[in-house]
């Protein structure tokens, strides 16, 4: 099978316990290059636990995650040494946190936040780094004159856009997003979603997006997994799952949105 015909990342029976408490259980799926997978469910369904295991930030209790790296070949994410995982996080992967302050350094400027990511992949020339930072601020619709401002002076929506720029500046293959529009008001959410959808399509990114908002999933995701009590209860093409839900829990989720 040609490399382009292989999944970018695969989960095999992924399971996570916190003591006797179940985080997620026996989750398996493949994510293909250029594909966006949405993971939906109510709070406590296991979706954020699954994301943490997929991205190497939390070790699973069972199962495995395989990733097809452009540098290292196909690797077992949790079987790899820590320096390999750290390098993936700096280069081939990005993580967009629900709270953008978790993904930004508030004590350095917007430009420096992007610049630090670029330096992580070997950039050293100040002029080139600054020029690239300006390019990415423009991509996420932040005015160029904010490049030397600190993120703590930004609105929540601007902080989230800056966090996205930091993650995309290194041209990653895969982005993990945890409730990327959570905590933002409706008008800011809509603008951010349009921006994300455009960037994902234009850059040909693969992404795993965790959200409790089915409207976000419909706009961003090609395929969908629905989680309840740590397990996947339904999966398929996004429109198929949301327009013709088969599992009673999915039907309840869709019904609650329609009645809201």
Res 259: pLDDT:
47
Instruction: Tell me the C-alpha distance between 252 and 235, whole Å.
Output: 15
Per-residue pLDDT band for 120 (boundaries 50, 70, 90) equals confident
Res 260: pLDDT:
43
Does residue 170 surpass a pLDDT of 60? yes
Res 174: pLDDT:
96
Res 191: pLDDT:
85
Residues 6+ apart with CB under 8 A from 219: 193, 197
CA 225 to chain centre: 15
Per-residue pLDDT band for 228 (boundaries 50, 70, 90) equals very high
pLDDT tens per residue, range 173-223: 999 999 988 877 887 888 888 888 888 888 889 999 999 899 899 999 999
Res 4: pLDDT:
58
Instruction: Tell me the C-alpha distance between 218 and 133, whole Å.
Output: 31
Average pLDDT over residues 81-105: 93
Query: pTM of the prediction?
Result: 0.92
């Amino acid at each position: 099978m040609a490399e382009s015909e292989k999944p970018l990342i695969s989960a095999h029976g992924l399971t996570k316990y916190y003591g006797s408490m179940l985080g997620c259980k026996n989750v398996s799926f493949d994510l293909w290059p250029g594909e966006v997978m949405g993971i939906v469910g109510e709070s406590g369904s296991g979706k954020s636990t699954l994301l943490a295991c997929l991205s190497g930030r939390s070790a699973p209790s069972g199962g495995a995650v395989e990733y097809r790296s452009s540098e290292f070949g196909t690797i077992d994410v949790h079987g790899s040494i820590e320096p390999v995982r750290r390098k993936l996080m700096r280069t081939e992967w990005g993580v967009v946190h629900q709270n953008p302050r978790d993904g930004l350094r508030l004590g350095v400027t917007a430009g420096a936040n992007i610049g630090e990511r670029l330096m992580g992949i070997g950039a050293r020339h100040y002029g080139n780094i600054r020029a690239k930072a300006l390019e990415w601020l423009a991509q996420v619709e932040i005015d160029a004159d904010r490049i030397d401002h600190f993120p703590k002076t930004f609105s929540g929506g601007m902080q989230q856009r800056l966090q996205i720029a930091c993650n995309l500046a290194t041209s990653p293959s895969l982005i993990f997003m945890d409730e990327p529009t959570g905590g933002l008001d409706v008008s800011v959410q809509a603008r951010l979603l349009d921006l994300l959808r455009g960037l994902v399509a234009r850059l040909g990114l693969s992404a795993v997006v965790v959200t409790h908002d089915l409207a976000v999933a419909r706009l961003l995701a090609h395929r969908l997994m629905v989680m309840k009590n740590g397990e996947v209860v339904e999966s398929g093409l996004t429109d198929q799952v949301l327009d013709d839900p088969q599992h009673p829990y999915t039907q309840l989720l869709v019904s609650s949105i329609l009645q809201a």
